[in-house]
């Protein structure tokens, strides 16, 4: 049975900063709490996560189309959807330490008061140090235009989903989609979280990957089960170890205001089990609410059965940052390796699926002379033309260059040596996981790497 590893998070966070995955935002000004910037490798990682999701959810299906809706929408959208009235968490204030906490997180939050070191905030509540819980709306408010009055209030969207519901008619009319069909969207969402934390797990600005699947009402349960399975499989197919994943159906009192059923795909993080993605049955809640709010008919007329109905919705809603962090944590490993001379060392390695890894192939001329760098550049150009993300490194001992790539999860390293330029033209391809090496003709290199990527399995 897999167990959480509390100090793993620190090692992953340190690697992220050292190697350019994730930086504290505005660091040169002292940083801003719970805001992060993705560095060169983090930007590639996130792009690969989004590409893998878009491939699985849109490109490889003929029943789902994409959308890219605005972050700032008509304020009525959020009144109709129930977010203005109900998108809130309960917060409490501590009269002693002046901290402000989410009521449902008190069991996990350590009391910040030094005197109470080691105890959780729930104990302070039980001792009567907290105010009564009150609702705190999580939506960020701002003003559109130069006048700051109540008429100009707009919200930064707290989920991408509503942009899909408000475009339901546009998509049906322009794309001739009919239930069962889905609309997928990737984009930023904003929530004024009371207690953000655990690195990029819970932040106030984050990216979501959401899909609303519109179905005839009688088919909702069947599609719900289908999407729970599909979404669980997506993480496994992209390299996450299945024994660190589980499906957790929500209890009745956990369900969001719009949902009649929800299952979370959870991951065993270093701090314990946490939600990675939620798959919810939203019924006809949203289309009905918007139809009422805007006065337009958002039902669907089925030509085949001659019936009109409001489609029900099954929604797989994932977090891109949370998925990227999960891939990082799950891939992280420290292995003891022994060289031919019997010398042991610890190698830090990220066992990313090659599809998710920020760099696919590193290219090393063995030495900076004898035509090797020039030949290496030519080979790199071929790999670039094939759409593979590459990295060129000609500095330092070859063993050190391998270690640097292991640490950022590059699955393949190609070395150009004396045999390449003087003898048979072949290059060495070194595999990150097995550390095995093959000699390959440059003309076969792209196909060789693509085959290895397809055949990749987590060891």
Compute the distance between CA of residue 5 and CA of residue 170 in angstroms, rounded to an integer: 48
Candidate list 53, 181, 206, 352; residue touching ligand GAP; CB under 6 A: 206
C-alpha triplet 115, 121, 127: angle, nearest 5°: 80
| Contact between 458 and 351 (Cβ < 8 Å) | yes
Q: Which is nearer to ligand GAP, 320 or 376 (CB)?
A: 320
40 vs 197 by CB, closer to ligand GAP: 197
Q: Which residues pair with 90 in a beta bridge?
A: 135
* 202 makes contact with ligand GAP (CB under 6 A): yes
The contact mask relative to ligand GAP for 250-289 (x = CB under 6 A, - = no) is -------------------------xxxx-----------
Taking the least distance from each CB to ligand GAP, the nearer of 130 and 282 is: 282
Which is closer to ligand GAP, CB of 73 or CB of 426? 73
Local structure of 184: helix, strand or coil: strand
Q: Mask: binding to ligand GAP, 321-360, rule CB under 6 A, as x and -?
A: xx--------------------------------------
CB < 8 Å & 24+ apart, contacts of 22-30: 22/199, 22/200
Determine the size of the site formed for ligand GAP (CB under 6 A): 19
From the list 7-15, 61-69, 127-135, 200-208, the region that binds ligand GAP by CB under 6 A is 200-208
319 forms bridges with which residues in the sheet? 208
Give 70 or 384: the residue with its C-beta nearer to ligand GAP.
Answer: 70
Q: How far is the CB of 295 from ligand GAP (least distance, A)?
A: 24
CB of 258 to ligand GAP, least distance (A): 8
Q: Note whether 318 binds ligand GAP by CB under 6 A.
A: yes
CB of 6 to ligand GAP, least distance (A): 21
Q: Which segment (62-70, 199-207, 284-292, 386-394) binds ligand GAP by CB under 6 A?
A: 199-207
Half-sphere exposure of 305 (CA within 13 A, CB side): 9
Give the separation between CA 279 and CA 317, rounded to whole angstroms: 6
Extract the runs of DSSP E, i.e. beta strands, from 70-163.
Answer: 88-93, 100-102, 134-137, 141-143, 153-155
> Could you tell me the smallest distance in angstroms from the CB atom of residue 235 to ligand GAP?
12
Measured from the CB atom, is 315 or 330 closer to ligand GAP? 315
Choosing from 195, 203, 238, 415, the residue that interacts with ligand GAP (CB under 6 A) is 203
CA distances from 112 to 13, 94, 125, 266, 300 (A): 22, 10, 13, 28, 54
Question: Which residue in the set 44, 103, 210, 330 belongs to the binding site for ligand GAP (CB under 6 A)?
Answer: 210
Interaction pattern, residues 120-159, with ligand GAP; x per rule: CB under 6 A: ---------------------------------------x
| Token digits of residue 307 | 């019936």
**End-to-end CA distance of the chain, in Å?**
17
390 neighbors 360 (Cβ within 8 angstroms): yes
Residue 401 is a binding residue for ligand GAP (CB under 6 A): no
DSSP string covering 211-265: EEEEE-GGGHHHHHHHHHHHHHHHHHHTT--GGGEEEEEPPGGG--TT-SEEEEE
Which residues make Cβ contacts (< 8 Å) with residue 378, sequence separation at least 6? none
Q: Of the two residues 180 and 278, which places its CB atom closer to ligand GAP in the complex?
A: 278
Residue 220 lies near ligand GAP (rule: CB under 6 A): no
Output the six-digit token pair for 405: 């790539």
Which alpha helices (H) appear in 301-357, and where do they start and end?
320-331
From 5, 51, 93, 193, residue interacting with ligand GAP (rule: CB under 6 A): 193
Which residue in 317, 372, 414, 429 binds ligand GAP (CB under 6 A)?
317
Residue 191, interface with ligand GAP (CB under 6 A)? yes
Looking at beta carbons only, is 321 or 406 nearer to ligand GAP? 321
DSSP structure class, residue 56: I
Among residues 319, 354, 365, 409, the one that binds ligand GAP under rule CB under 6 A: 319
Task: Tell the residue number behind the tokens 């290059």, with chain if given.
Answer: 427
Closest to 187 (Cα-Cα) out of 66, 80, 25: 66
Sign of CA dihedral 190, 203, 43, 428: negative
Our finding on whether 161 is near ligand GAP (CB under 6 A) is yes
DSSP code at position 413: E
Binding track over 367-396 against ligand GAP, x by CB under 6 A: ------------------------------
302 binds ligand GAP (CB under 6 A): no
Nearer to ligand GAP, 161 or 429 (CB): 161
Contacts of 379 (CB under 8 A, 6+ apart): 363, 414, 416, 427, 442, 445
Nearest residue to ligand GAP, by Cβ distance, number only:
319
**Which residues contact ligand GAP by CB under 6 A?**
159, 161, 191, 193, 202-203, 206, 208, 210, 275-278, 315, 317-319, 321-322
């Amino acid at each position: 049975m897999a167990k959480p590893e509390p100090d793993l998070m620190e090692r992953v966070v340190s690697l992220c900063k050292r190697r350019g995955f994730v930086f504290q935002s505005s660091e040169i000004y002292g940083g801003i709490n719970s805001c992060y910037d993705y560095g060169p490798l983090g930007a590639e990682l996130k792009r690969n996560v989004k590409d893998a999701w878009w491939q699985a959810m849109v490109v490889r299906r003929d029943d789902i189309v994409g959308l890219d809706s605005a972050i700032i929408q008509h304020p009525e959208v959020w009144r109709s959807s129930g977010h203005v009235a109900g998108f809130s968490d309960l917060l409490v204030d501590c009269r002693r330490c002046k901290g402000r906490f989410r009521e449902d997180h008190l069991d996990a939050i350590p009391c910040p008061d030094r005197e109470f070191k080691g105890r959780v905030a729930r104990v302070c509540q039980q001792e009567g140090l907290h105010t009564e819980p009150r609702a705190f709306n999580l939506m960020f408010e701002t003003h559109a235009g130069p006048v700051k009055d109540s008429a100009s209030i707009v919200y930064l969207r707290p989920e991408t989903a509503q942009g899909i519901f408000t475009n339901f008619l546009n998509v049906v009319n322009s794309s001739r989609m009919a239930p069962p069909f889905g609309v997928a969207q990737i984009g930023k969402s904003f929530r004024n979280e009371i207690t953000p934390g655990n690195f990029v797990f819970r932040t106030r600005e984050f990216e979501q990957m959401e899909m609303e699947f519109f179905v005839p009402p009688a088919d909702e349960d069947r599609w719900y089960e289908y999407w729970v399975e599909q979404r669980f499989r997506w993480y496994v197919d992209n390299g996450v170890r299945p024994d660190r994943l589980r499906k957790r159906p929500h209890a009745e009192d956990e369900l969001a205001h719009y949902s009649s059923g929800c299952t979370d795909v959870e991951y065993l993080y270093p701090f314990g089990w946490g939600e990675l993605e939620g798959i919810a049955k939203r019924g006809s809640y949203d289309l009905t609410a918007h139809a009422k709010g805007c006065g337009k008919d958002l039902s669907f007329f089925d030509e085949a059965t001659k019936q009109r109905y409001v489609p029900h919705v099954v929604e797989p809603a994932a977090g891109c940052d949370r998925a990227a962090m999960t891939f990082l944590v799950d891939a992280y490993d420290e292995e003891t390796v022994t060289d031919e001379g019997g010398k042991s060392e610890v190698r830090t390695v990220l066992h990313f699926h090659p599809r998710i890894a920020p760099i696919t192939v590193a290219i090393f001329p063995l030495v900076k002379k004898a035509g090797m760098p020039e030949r290496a550049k030519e080979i790199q150009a071929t790999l670039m033309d094939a759409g593979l993300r590459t990295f060129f490194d000609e500095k330092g001992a070859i063993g050190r260059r391998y270690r640097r790539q292991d640490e950022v999860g590059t699955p393949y390293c190609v070395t150009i040596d004396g045999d390449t330029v003087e003898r048979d033209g072949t290059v060495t391809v070194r595999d990150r996981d097995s550390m095995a090496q093959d000699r390959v003709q440059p003309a076969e290199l792209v196909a060789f790497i693509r085959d290895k990527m397809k055949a990749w399995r987590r060891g």
